[in-house]
Structure 1
């Protein structure tokens, strides 16, 4: 069996952060409160898949991962997320923008 590195085995902070401060991002998954978000019940949905936000700060966790504090405009929640849970809206490849067509213009209006 080949030795394949898992996501959690990679030391992300050995490389520059994937996202920049102020960058528009979209959530790739639903995020529920794991107990670290004050004022909300454990298990309550904080971020919906496809929700748009902005990177407000970049920190690290366990001297291994970047944690992006993302402020989601619709819900008003500021949530710490890993890069694998996010996708950029500001630096999409040209071929993706072409596939999006008119939706790309709608994304620009969110700036």
Structure 2
């Protein structure tokens, strides 16, 4: 087994990293690192003799997290997926209409149900008041950024 990354390499996580119960001070399932975030490899080791686990220091959050190789890509590799992810609360920047009738007003909050929709990962499936909509990324912002 040969590691794909080494000390000092800058890497990007391709999926949200949540606490699996091994991070003290964080609730199980709590989001630790958003997908698309970059960090630096501190070291690596083996888990159960068949998985390489990389210790990644995410400078923005000043957090060190263990990541599997399949969750990482080189930071300089193109990253096309949007930053929104499943479960995020989002706010619309524009009204959304169905057959010319406004179904969601600008400023309403919904929740991401699916990501990476479309050819370029540029739209999301979002629920607003129990209804599902396919919404372009350009029409959404994280609710916490909008407040």
TM-score, normalising length from structure 2? 0.51
Task: Report what 1:72 is aligned to.
Answer: 58
How much is the aligned-residue C-alpha RMSD, in angstroms? 1.2
Task: Report what 1:47 is aligned to.
Answer: 33
Task: Report what 2:74 is aligned to.
Answer: 88
Q: Distance in 1 between matches of 2:12 and 2:49?
A: 25
Q: Deviations for 1:15-54, whole angstroms, at most 9, x for unmatched residues?
A: x200111100001000110110001111110010010100
Q: Which has the higher contact order (CA 8 A, sep 6+)?
A: 1
Q: How many residues align?
A: 78
Larger Rg over CA atoms: 2
TM-score, normalising length from structure 1? 0.66
Matched, 1:31 2:17: yes
User: Which runs of 5 or more structure 1 residues have no equivalent in the other structure?
Assistant: 1-12, 97-111
